[in-house]
Amino acid sequence: MARQFFVGGNFKMNGSVDTIKKIIGNLNNAKLDPSTEVVIAPPALYLLLARSELRSGVEVAAQNVFDKPQGAFTGEISADQLKDSNITWALIGHSERRTILREDDAFVASKTKAALDGGIGVILCCGESLEQREAGKTIDVVTSQLAAVKAKVSDWSKIVIAYEPIWAIGTGKVATTEQAQEVHAAIRAWLKKEIGEKVAEDTRIIYGGSVSDKNCGDLSKQPDIDGFLVGGASLKPAFVDIINSRL
């Protein structure tokens, strides 16, 4: 069975009540490709607003989740709390959290397990720096990030892998279609070898890194690119064009 196309919008630390209502209003009124799964990730403060305002069929993701179910962890949100609020997805392992907040592979894996155990789908981010790419270490870096998750997770059915080269996030630089497809294919080959053929065939691997309405068409045609994780463009009307990139 063909993998369902998946487009996520990561608002990062952007937005206000007014602007997020406008973004959601645009999505609610747009004709969206019915065969594409759509998820938006606003800042935590606006998760409930987004869930209450969004049309059915578009899901909401948290930008982070902690690896404990409750307790004295000031500022954190648990998978149970997300589930209780009808938030069905979480972004985990985004490069900004790995680099700025120093989240290592083991912590990312622990959070992934906690989210899955709590019934939350995971958009699991992985990717390499410019220095790592220039050193020819892209595949090693990405697969080591995934291997940390494999050590703690056995069921990959609710994981979407987002390949996001760090050097292409918010820079305007985009991996060429060939570069993106090459890494996606390598991730799928790793899944087949390390976890199993069914997981490799079923797992959606999406691309993130300055995705726009200009480059999404060519990227969406690649055999191992199953969608996009969109940053800045998800705040703009062009997000609809990216969602509909395969129409």
Question: Which of 94, 96, 128, 184 is labelled catalytic?
Answer: 94
Three-state DSSP string of 151-210 = CCCCCCCCEEEEECCHHHCCCCCCCCHHHHHHHHHHHHHHHHHHCCHHHHHHCCEEECCC
Question: Which of 96, 103, 128, 164 is labelled catalytic?
Answer: 164
Query: Residue 209: left (phi > 0), alpha (psi -120 to 50), or beta?
Result: left
Q: Exposed e or buried b for every residue in 6-26, given b needs 16+ CB within 10 A?
A: bbbbbbbeebeeeebeebbee
Active-site annotation holds for 184 = no
In angstroms, the first-to-last Cα distance of the chain is 19
- Which two three-digit tokens encode residue 166? 């760090």
Strands 36-41 and 5-10: parallel
- The catalytic residues are 94, 164
